[in-house]
Chain A
Amino acid sequence: MTIKVGDKFPQGSFLTLGPDGPAPVTTDELFKGKKVVLFAVPGAFTPTCSAKHLPGYVANADAIKAKGVDTIACMAVNDAFVMGAWGKDQGVGDKVLMLGDGSGDITKALGLELDATKMGMGPRSQRFALVVDDGTVTHVAVEEGGGLDVSAAEKVLAAL
């Protein structure tokens, strides 16, 4: 079952790289009482993600937050160390929270996994963006066909 508008975001826990190493961020902590734009990429440091997807959200962060969004978060089936290193590399600062779903548990619970084994990347996530309001999904934009369109920062901003 793939997540859809009106669904509750599944329970789980991400890891983010804090000053003392990986620290858990539960879905309750992330979503409770907040409006969150969460976007997912197949892999940190991959060309589309690094060149367009994440930089788009960094560039549009202020405009997105001006629409009443409390948190912008980026998730991938990468570990917290890789997500932290990628965020630093891309200069996200405090504009985008970098969340590792390293074992893919939340991605699977969303029904948005992608088998990239043949590309040498193992189980990953589809590219998508969600708007989550107090834990309930209010917008779903899943990319089809490998491009960057509906989940891009500009498109999500327009949907807010």
Chain B
Amino acid sequence: MTIKQGDKLPSGTLKIMGADGPQNVTTEDFFAGRKVVLFAVPGAFTRTCSAKHLPGFVGHAGAILAKGVDAIACISVNDVFVMDAWGKDQGVGDKVAMLADGSAEFTRALGLDADFSERGLGIRSQRYAMIVEDGTVTGLFVEAPGAYEVSAAEAVLATL
């Protein structure tokens, strides 16, 4: 079952890099009582992600937050060390929270996993963006395989 608009986000535990190393963050805590734009990429440091998707959200962070969004988060099936290194490489600062779903458990619970084993990437996430209000999905934009359109920062911003 793939997540759809109106659904509650499934429970899960993600990791985020803190000052003292990796920290657990539950989806209940992260999404409670606020409006979050969450976007997912198949892999940190990959071409479309590094060249367009993440930089787009960094570039449009001010405009997105001005629409009443409390936080922007990027999630990927990469571990917390890789997500942190990628965020630093891309200069996200405090504009985008870098969330790691290293074991793909949350991504699978969303029904948005993708098998890229043949490309040497293993189980990853589809590329998507969602708007989550107090834990409920109020907007969902899943890309067709290989596409980069509906989940782009500009496209999500236009729906807010």
A residues bordering B, Cβ < 8 Å?
14-15, 21-22, 43-47, 77-82, 84-86, 89, 100-104, 116-117, 119-123
Tell me, in angstroms, the Cα distance from A15 to B77 when the chains sit together. 18
Number of CB contacts from chain A to chain B under 8 A: 87
Instruction: Mark out the residues of chain B between 41 and 55 whose CB falls within 8 Å of any chain A CB in the assembled complex.
Output: 43-47
Q: Does B35 contact A (CB under 8 A)?
A: no
Contact string, B21-61, partner A, CB cutoff 8 A, digits 1/0? 11000000000000000000001111100000000000000
17 A–B contacts, CB within 8 A, in A order: A15-B120, A21-B47, A43-B79, A44-B81, A45-B81, A45-B84, A77-B122, A78-B82, A79-B45, A79-B121, A81-B44, A102-B120, A102-B122, A103-B120, A120-B13, A120-B15, A121-B103
Across the interface, which residues of B come within 8 angstroms of A81, CB to CB? 43-47
CB of A154 to closest CB in B, whole Å: 24
Please judge, given known A-B contacts A85-B86, A89-B85, whether A120 and B80 are in contact too, CB under 8 Å.
yes
Across the interface, which residues of B come within 8 angstroms of A84, CB to CB? 45
Tell me, in angstroms, the Cα distance from A102 to B44 when the chains sit together. 13
Tell me, in angstroms, the Cα distance from A43 to B15 when the chains sit together. 15
* B81 and A43 form a contact (CB under 8 A): yes
Tell me, in angstroms, the Cα distance from A81 to B105 when the chains sit together. 22
Closest residue of B by beta carbon distance from A13: B120
CB of A123 to closest CB in B, whole Å: 8
* B46 and A103 form a contact (CB under 8 A): no
Please judge, given known A-B contacts A85-B45, A89-B85, whether A122 and B122 are in contact too, CB under 8 Å.
yes
Q: Does B117 contact A (CB under 8 A)?
A: yes
Q: Which 6 A-B pairs have the closest CB atoms?
A: A102-B120, A120-B102, A45-B81, A81-B45, A103-B117, A85-B45
* B79 and A121 form a contact (CB under 8 A): yes
* A85 and B84 form a contact (CB under 8 A): no
Across the interface, which residues of B come within 8 angstroms of A117, CB to CB? 103, 105
Residue among B21, B22, B86, B103 with the most chain A CB within 10 A? B103
Residue among B13, B14, B44, B122 with the most chain A CB within 10 A? B122
Across the interface, which residues of B come within 8 angstroms of A79, CB to CB? 43, 45-46, 120-122
Closest residue of A by beta carbon distance from B50: A81
Q: Tell which of A14, A15, A44, A122 touches B103, judged by Cβ atoms closer than 8 Å.
A: A122
Across the interface, which residues of B come within 8 angstroms of A102, CB to CB? 119-122
Tell me, in angstroms, the Cα distance from A102 to B86 when the chains sit together. 17
Across the interface, which residues of B come within 8 angstroms of A78, CB to CB? 82
* A82 and B43 form a contact (CB under 8 A): yes
Residue among A45, A101, A123 with the most chain B CB within 10 A? A45
CB of A57 to closest CB in B, whole Å: 19
Across the interface, which residues of B come within 8 angstroms of A14, CB to CB? 120
Closest residue of A by beta carbon distance from B104: A122
Across the interface, which residues of B come within 8 angstroms of A116, CB to CB? 102-103
Tell me, in angstroms, the Cα distance from A101 to B90 when the chains sit together. 24
CB of B54 to closest CB in A, whole Å: 13
Q: Does B130 contact A (CB under 8 A)?
A: no
